[in-house]
């Protein structure tokens, strides 16, 4: 054989790997409304930037022929998104249903190591039937190597999981550790045990979609952060998210110059009409956020889960900020178990990657009730306190309307480390709302009055003037400034500019013990 023969043999082998499980299985994948691993990679990455790694890795053992598993059922490599380096793996459902075996896991582990060593995000396109039964405990060990890297690289580089098919059993724990989980409606599922096992053990009948589909995980369990109707939609969302994130914990987020399609002053003035002064009236805080961030662009995270709390990414003067906001439109913006978890994990993510946190506060308190108490609202609510206290990034709070009780303290108050706190002139801060406080404090006077209701209103107004207005808090240094709502964006720009080089070091320790 001469060199051309060797080259031809190499190309034949590569061609076999590129075809995965063959045309018949590729057609079957398409018939389910799903793309192949390589088609997904092409959609996700910038054109012609993908470089494949370890295409010729094969399983070790004699349980089946290597011809049965070209590429070991997973495609790994690196490329670019918006001209920035990323590493990725894409499970190939056309090869053994994307089942994970020892060498399949080794390919994933190797590309994760490369991502961490080169300070670049890792993206996993998951489409797998689970552990490869033929390899027994070796496949389980393989999952362990992936889980371990998910954990130790957490906070080092962004980790993104895209569920594009089944993800069952132990396989779900890798996405659960990563920073963001994307799901495709009607074609992707996540569950520990499938419908058949549940039926055999419990007798309950349920299908895969209702058990672990995108709708369930985005609105009920909170396991999914983003969903899309098609794979193309989801992969485009991943590309959008990448523009808000740094490549690693030591780098800054990408600067995106504001387009200023609409005059800032025009939309800022609309703030006055968006937020009712009456604290009992509702409004959608997302509309407020969009008036303040660059170009009214806000990428909400977990929009369908714990809707009483809004989290997501925006930009102020071209720089990424993480936004945490109560939404009075849902549950009066109060804090419950799910919103506490949602909020605290997002705060920690922003802190991991040096993203400043802006909090828009309008909170009546923690949600009362037997279900919440028995469900552990104390433990879950404490996560917010812990997350804000621990975060060393720039932290700015804007009290839009209400800030009552323990929730006032929890949502980035001065006492737990806020760098700046601004309040709108209508803001109320107190142990509890004026209506409830006045009724308790002045109960005897109200009861003995000739006109109890008139006396009650009088005492409510008195309490508001004496205790609940922003100037009382400002007089004690708990609020840095009381601002015109229309100056909110300007105040945030000035504050973020001042805090740009903030450095704060926590006491030396191995790590804290967050209430989980």
Question: Catalytic: 170?
Answer: yes
Distance of CA 153 to the CA centre of its chain: 17
Q: Find the catalytic residue in 37, 391, 407, 437.
A: 407
Instruction: In whole angstroms, give the CA distance from residue 293 to residue 296.
Output: 6
Phi and psi at residue 320, to the nearest 5°: -65, 140
Instruction: In whole angstroms, give the CA distance from residue 372 to residue 353.
Output: 32
Give me the half-sphere count of Cα atoms (radius 13 Å) on the Cβ side of residue 338: 20
Question: Catalytic: 169?
Answer: yes
Phi and psi at residue 131, to the nearest 5°: -70, 145
Distance of CA 125 to the CA centre of its chain: 17
Dihedral over Cα of 292, 295, 301, 305: its sign: positive
For residue 281, what is the DSSP state? S
Residues 6 or more apart whose CB falls under 8 angstroms from that of 122 comprise 86, 87, 88, 89, 111, 112, 115, 116, 153, 157, 158, 159, 160
Q: Which helix (H) or strand (E) holds 407?
A: helix 405-410
- Write down the residue that tokens 């001209």 correspond to: 83
What's the Rg (C-alpha) of the chain? 26
For residue 383, what is the DSSP state? H
Nearest to residue 225, comparing CAs of 166, 164, 285, 305? 305
For the stretch 209-215, contacts whose Cβ atoms lie closer than 8 Å and that sit 24 or more positions apart, written own/partner, are: 213/183, 213/185, 213/186, 213/188, 213/189, 214/163, 214/183, 214/184, 214/185, 214/186, 214/188, 215/185
Strand pairing category for 189-191 and 166-168? parallel
Q: Find the catalytic residue in 169, 381, 405, 433.
A: 169
Instruction: In whole angstroms, give the CA distance from residue 511 to residue 516.
Output: 14
Q: Find the catalytic residue in 136, 155, 170, 436.
A: 170
- Tell me if residue 87 falls in helix, strand or coil: strand
**Residues with active-site annotation:** 169-170, 406-407
């Amino acid at each position: 054989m001469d060199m051309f023969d060797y080259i031809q043999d190499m190309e034949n082998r590569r061609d076999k790997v590129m075809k995965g499980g063959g045309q018949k299985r590729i057609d079957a994948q398409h018939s389910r409304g799903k793309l192949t691993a390589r088609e997904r990679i092409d959609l996700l990455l910038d054109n012609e930037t993908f470089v494949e790694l370890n295409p010729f890795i094969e399983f070790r053992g004699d349980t089946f022929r290597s011809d049965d598993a070209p590429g070991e059922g997973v495609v790994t490599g690196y490329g670019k998104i918006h001209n920035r380096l990323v590493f990725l793996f894409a499970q190939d459902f056309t090869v053994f249903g994307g089942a994970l075996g020892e060498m399949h896991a080794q390919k994933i582990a190797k590309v994760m190591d490369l991502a961490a060593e080169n300070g670049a995000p890792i993206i996993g396109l998951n489409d797998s039937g689970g552990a490869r039964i033929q390899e027994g405990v070796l496949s389980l060990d393989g999952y362990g190597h992936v889980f371990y890297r998910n954990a130790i690289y957490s906070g080092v580089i962004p980790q993104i999981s895209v569920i594009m098919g089944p993800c069952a059993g132990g396989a779900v724990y890798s996405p659960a550790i990563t920073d963001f989980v994307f799901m495709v409606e009607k074609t992707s599922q996540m569950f520990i045990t499938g419908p058949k096992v549940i039926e055999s053990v419990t007798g309950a009948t349920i299908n895969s979609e209702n058990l672990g589909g995108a709708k369930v995980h985005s609105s009920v369990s909170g396991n999914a952060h983003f969903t899309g109707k098609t794979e193309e939609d989801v992969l485009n969302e991943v590309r959008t998210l990448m523009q808000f994130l740094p490549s690693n914990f030591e780098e800054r987020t990408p600067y995106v110059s504001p387009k200023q399609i609409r005059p800032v002053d025009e939309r800022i003035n609309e703030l006055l009409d968006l937020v009712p002064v009456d604290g009992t009236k509702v409004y959608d805080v997302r509309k407020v956020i969009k008036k303040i961030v660059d170009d009214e662009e806000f990428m909400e995270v977990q929009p369908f889960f714990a809707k009483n709390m809004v989290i997501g990414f925006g930009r102020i003067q071209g720089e990424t900020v993480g936004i945490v906001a109560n939404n009075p439109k849902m549950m009066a913006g109060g804090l419950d178990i799910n919103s506490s978890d949602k909020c605290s994990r997002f705060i920690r993510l922003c802190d991991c990657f040096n993203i400043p946190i802006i909090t828009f506060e309008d909170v009546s308190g923690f949600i009362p009730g037997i279900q919440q108490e028995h469900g552990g609202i104390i433990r879950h609510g404490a996560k917010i306190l812990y997350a804000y206290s621990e975060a060393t990034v720039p932290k700015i709070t804007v009290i839009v309307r209400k800030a009552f009780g323990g929730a006032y303290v929890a949502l980035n108050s001065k006492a737990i480390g806020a760098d700046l706190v601004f309040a709108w002139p209508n803001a109320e801060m107190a142990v509890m709302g004026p209506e409830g406080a006045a009724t308790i404090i002045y109960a005897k006077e109200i009861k003995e009055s000739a006109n109890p209701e008139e006396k009650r209103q009088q005492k409510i107004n008195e309490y508001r003037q004496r205790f609940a207005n922003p100037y009382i808090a400002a007089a004690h240094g708990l609020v840095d400034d009381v601002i015109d709502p229309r100056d909110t964006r300007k105040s945030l720009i000035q504050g973020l500019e001042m805090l740009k080089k903030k450095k704060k070091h926590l006491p030396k320790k191995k790590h804290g013990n967050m209430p989980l």
